[in-house]
Amino acid sequence: DRIVYLKDYRQTDFIIESVDLVFELGEELTTVGSQIRMKRRPGASPDAPLEFVGDGLQLAGLALDGKPLLPERYECTSDHLTINDLPADDAFTLTIKTNINPTANTQLLGLYRTNGVYSTQCEAEGFRRITYFYDRPDVLTVYTVTIIADKAKNPLLLSNGNLVEERDLGDGRHLAKWHDPFRKPSYLFALVAGDLAMIEDRFTTMSGRAVTLRIYVEHGKAERAGYAMDALKRSMKWDEERFGREYDLDIFMIVAVSDFNMGAMENKGLNIFNDRLILADPETATDDDYARIEAVVAHEYFHNWTGNRITCRDWFQLSLKEGLTVFREHEFSADQRSRPVVRVDEVKFLRAHQFPEDGGPLAHPVRPTQYMEIDNFYTTTVYEKGSEVSRMIATLLGEDGFRKGLDLFFDRHDGGAVTIEDYLKCFEDATGRDLSHFALWYHQAGTPVIAARSSYDAAEGRLELTLSQHTPPTPGENDKKPLYIPLRVGLISPNGDDMEPSAVSGGERTGDVLHLTESEQTFVFEGLGAKPTISLNRDFSAPVRVRFDQPREDRLKIAGAESDLVERWDAINGLALEVLTHATAAVRAGRSVDTDSALASILIETAEDGELEPAFRALALTLPSELDIGREIGEDVDPDAIHLARKAVFSAIANSGRASFARLVEELREDNGFSPEAGSAGRRALRNAALAYLAEAEKSPLPARQAYDAATNMTDMIAALRILAHQFPGSAETSAVLADFRQRFDGEPLVLDKWFTAQATVPGEATLDRVAELMGDAAFDEGNPNRVRALIGAFASSNPTGFNRPDGAGYRFFANFILATDPRNATLTARMMTAMRSFQSLEAGRREKARAEIERIAGQEDLSRNLRDIVNRMLK
Ligand code: HT7
Ligand code: ZN
């Protein structure tokens, strides 16, 4: 299998001036005509051949300047087309015809037809499944696209840019022609055809351009697209106000499709979305769904500038668009919702997904230097760590400095395909700050660990804070260099205010940011009238692990009163993790569990603190998950012991806070209708968190059953169902509610996904059989990625006791599923397989059973390249 190296990058020998595509759509036979105006790049060798790539293609015609090419002039297989003796200087036109079968395309990459709708997914290397081309991000050209199809079945014919012609062909077919004036790479090409419903709105940009906004969804679902439309308009406005970015075409379209490998795709002017990230109404979508829809609609829209107007030179630069766009998306969510709550969610996500990736066999730098299959690099490292790196640049340069750098980036590189170095250079040139050391964040994998120790000299009013950094080795990278780490550090006085030292030495400090650049540095703070409590990494300013042996009283103080709510949450979470890991050790040693009354007090007091917003109180009240505890323990993990320990701690908190939880459940009852707005969502989150404890304290499914019956929205309904399924499995109420939900939402696949997931994540050995049984449910469709992820994906990634059954049956079942599904959809199986990437941290019995199944997969001959790459790296 080929490996692609960053060091091998070189420009193409030919330049493409424009391309005209003609699609004659047929369900089993679609013909694609491609007319490419091109010429040899000045300076390229006059006899270099033209080398296009394909993937599984069938050539149906090839002509140069209108004349068929003789076979001796070219060489063609399903995956490449090489043409010799092309003109040295003159421009020429190449015409290529290919035949493809959209119905047989189960990979959902290229042009595919499912549910009666033709749609495309070309990132990263899907365009080569449509026609032979330079399918690489640095080849930008102008596209004109003609679509011809049966009119009755496909009244809608869409592509990128502006509609320039529409015509009936008189034979039952019609034609639409689209022209996109912006040069773009092939991965941003899109086509949609079918019969869909639509909602329309308008947006006037800051310079007065009237833009038509359209969202296309399945018939009968149009009322559910309103929230996405609202999110789109807010995104457009926000990007103008915050970053000065304006939309550039007369129309912006979103199409929601039900079969999609990822979340969404930012094709120029024609975003294509997984329908679960568009469709929402109170009866079918949860508050988390609303938040996700808002974020992803914004993310894809923001790509119009960060990704489309300025794109990547090659796929190694993927984080240039993804990391930066995630950062823009995060800032948008923070401005639309509660900044600290949004930030805590980001921190939780990073720790749950990116840190394990960075500490496991699949670790790679934000900018990798080699890949076997680029699809496998759409990772949390490229996305979320990439976003954190941009956030750190903003922390170092300040909001103004960051904006100046980004403005320069847009000015300098508009229309270009660029590198991470080009990006960093803009910040250096705009601010005069040297980022050469900082750039290591892009090149070095692994999560740095910062160890802190401090001493306070009361007589001198001086605090010494020694910070050392260490990054553990990652595959292929043993020697790690110190990074440039901006750390926000707060000094809290005995009365809870922030203290400002008279002087700081030992390293640079800008505002409250310490610049940690060496492997060890001692910062000395002078002029402190009292011993401060140190709050390290406020706002999670750097994506690092902090090891600080801080007195418990300081930790309790931060947990109870720190003004930076991210740190406050982190202190509460840290205390909970400590109690839970000790409890797990006690369970494994056969000792009784110490459930720690201080933790219960902190959680209950925070949950009841009316000064704090409900969403934050809900975050504080929610104990770390079993997976979080396993990650904290890190090695020799026994999921059953974790489960028992967490249950004991949860139960103890429930008992000691019973009255408070009952009060919260009562007080937070929402009587005046549903609003998806963050404040209302926060109240529901707090009420449902309290309800889980109350049900536990009462040892009865009845409070949850009543909540289910009284629910007027999906958030409350699924929360109650989850409490029943997870805390009262096998009870009559649980069975009744599961049956009611299944029947009530028959014909609503996205809602039934929640039903699948709630059951797939029920702790315990019995769940495996239930998952197998649910695969036979009429609503389960093994060809649909959402269904597969909701049932099998959730079981493997979010059910530690069920999946990691000591007898290895969970692994066997999963491996069988992966092997059966790999030929059908390799992007999906490779991504799902990463659920097992941390198998090495399990206790020996499970670890070896897991390894045996991964080895069984690796031992198969005809694996997809995607899956082969993942399992090989996991076993290295
Ligand atoms: N840029 C998009 C990536 C994407 C993708 C990648 C591989 C296979 C299928 C895919 N669908 C979408 C999504 C984004 O980050 O905006
Ligand atoms: Zn993206």
Instruction: Please choose, from the candidates 53, 46, 44, the residue with its C-alpha nearest in 3D space to the C-alpha of residue 12.
Output: 44
User: Cα–Cα distance between 471 and 445 in angstroms, integer?
Assistant: 8
Q: Separation of 708 CA from ligand 2 center, angstroms?
A: 36
* DSSP of 614-675: HHHHHHHHSPPPHHHHHHHH-SSB-HHHHHHHHHHHHHHHHHHTHHHHHHHHHHT---S---
Ligand nearest to the CA of 376: 1
Phi, psi torsion values for 865, nearest 5 degrees: -60, -35
> Going by DSSP bridges, is the β-strand pair 58-64/67-68 parallel, antiparallel, or unpaired?
antiparallel
Instruction: Please choose, from the candidates 824, 766, 680, 743, the residue with its C-alpha nearest in 3D space to the C-alpha of residue 286.
Output: 680
Q: Which protein residue has the closest C-alpha to ligand 1 atom 7?
A: 375
For residue 460 the two structure tokens come to 């001198």
Q: Which protein residue has the closest C-alpha to ligand 1 atom 15?
A: 322
Can you count the helices (H) and strands (E) in the chain? 29, 33
For residue 378 the two structure tokens come to 């759409």
Q: Is the CB of 324 under 6 A from ligand 1?
A: no
pLDDT digits (tens, 9 = 90+) for 746-776: 999 999 999 999 999 999 999 999 999 999 9
Nearest ligand 1 atom to the CA of 299 is: 16
Return the CATH number of the domain spanning residue range 14-194. 2.60.40.1730
User: Cα–Cα distance between 273 and 296 in angstroms, integer?
Assistant: 9
CB 73 within 8 A of CB 36: no
Return the CATH number of the domain spanning residue range 450-531. 2.60.40.1840
User: Cα–Cα distance between 107 and 125 in angstroms, integer?
Assistant: 12
* pLDDT band for position 596 (cuts 50, 70, 90): confident
The mean of the pLDDT values for the chain is 98
Nearest ligand 1 atom to the CA of 261 is: 9
Give me the mean pLDDT over the 662-689 stretch.
Answer: 94
Q: Which protein residue has the closest C-alpha to ligand 1 atom 13?
A: 265
Give me the mean pLDDT over the 610-631 stretch.
Answer: 98
Q: Separation of 640 CA from ligand 1 center, angstroms?
A: 36
pLDDT of the residue at 92:
98
Domains 311-443 and 450-531 share a fold: no
CA 513-624-588 angle, 5° bins: 120
* pLDDT band for position 7 (cuts 50, 70, 90): very high
Mutate to test the pocket of ligand 1, among 105, 112, 120, 123 (most ligand atoms within 8 A of CB): 123
Give me the mean pLDDT over the 223-246 stretch.
Answer: 98
pLDDT of the residue at 853:
99
Percent of the chain surpassing pLDDT 70: 100
Per-residue b/e over 494-506, b at no fewer than 16 CB within 10 Å?
Answer: eeeeebebeebeb
Q: Separation of 360 CA from ligand 2 center, angstroms?
A: 24
Helix (H, G, I), strand (E, B) or coil at 684: helix
User: Cα–Cα distance between 381 and 725 in angstroms, integer?
Assistant: 34
Q: Separation of 354 CA from ligand 2 center, angstroms?
A: 16
Q: Separation of 531 CA from ligand 1 center, angstroms?
A: 50
pLDDT digits (tens, 9 = 90+) for 397-438: 999 999 999 999 999 999 999 999 999 999 999 999 999 999
Locus of tokens 């929205």: 713
Strands (E), 697-842: none
Which helix or strand (DSSP H or E) is residue 607 part of? helix 597-608
Among this protein's residues, is 300 annotated catalytic?
Answer: yes
pLDDT digits (tens, 9 = 90+) for 691-720: 999 999 999 999 999 999 999 999 999 999
Ligand nearest to the CA of 306: 2
Q: Separation of 566 CA from ligand 1 center, angstroms?
A: 30
pLDDT of the residue at 757:
99
CB atoms within 10 A of CB 208: 7
305 pLDDT more than 90: yes
ipTM of the predicted assembly exceeds 0.95:
yes
For residue 613 the two structure tokens come to 């917003």
Q: Is the CB of 827 under 6 A from ligand 1?
A: yes
Which helix or strand (DSSP H or E) is residue 296 part of? helix 287-302
DSSP 8-state secondary structure symbol assigned to residue 745 = T
pLDDT of the residue at 69:
98
pLDDT of the residue at 671:
73
| Of 300, 388, 613, 696, catalytic | 300
Return the CATH number of the domain spanning residue range 311-443. 1.10.390.10
Q: Is the CB of 319 under 6 A from ligand 1?
A: no
Enumerate the domain spans of the chain. 14-194, 311-443, 450-531, 750-876
Q: Is the CB of 262 under 6 A from ligand 1?
A: yes
* Half-sphere exposure at residue 818, Cβ-oriented, CA atoms within 13 angstroms: 32
pLDDT digits (tens, 9 = 90+) for 632-649: 999 999 999 999 999 999
CB 232 within 8 A of CB 191: no
| Assigned CATH class of 750-876 | mainly alpha
CB 293 within 8 A of CB 398: no
CB atoms within 10 A of CB 874: 23
Instruction: Please choose, from the candidates 706, 622, 725, the residue with its C-alpha nearest in 3D space to the C-alpha of residue 665.
Output: 706
Instruction: Please choose, from the candidates 389, 379, 385, 374, the residue with its C-alpha nearest in 3D space to the C-alpha of residue 316.
Output: 374
Q: Which protein residue has the closest C-alpha to ligand 1 atom 14?
A: 265
Percent of the chain surpassing pLDDT 90: 99
Nearest ligand 1 atom to the CA of 383 is: 15
pLDDT of the residue at 443:
98
pLDDT of the residue at 595:
86
Q: Which protein residue has the closest C-alpha to ligand 1 atom 12?
A: 265
* DSSP of 392-405: HHHHHHHHHHHHHH
Per-residue b/e over 107-138, b at no fewer than 16 CB within 10 Å?
Answer: bbbbbbbbeebbbbbbbbbbbbbbbbbbbbbb
pLDDT of the residue at 251:
98
Q: How far is CA 336 from its chain centroid?
A: 19
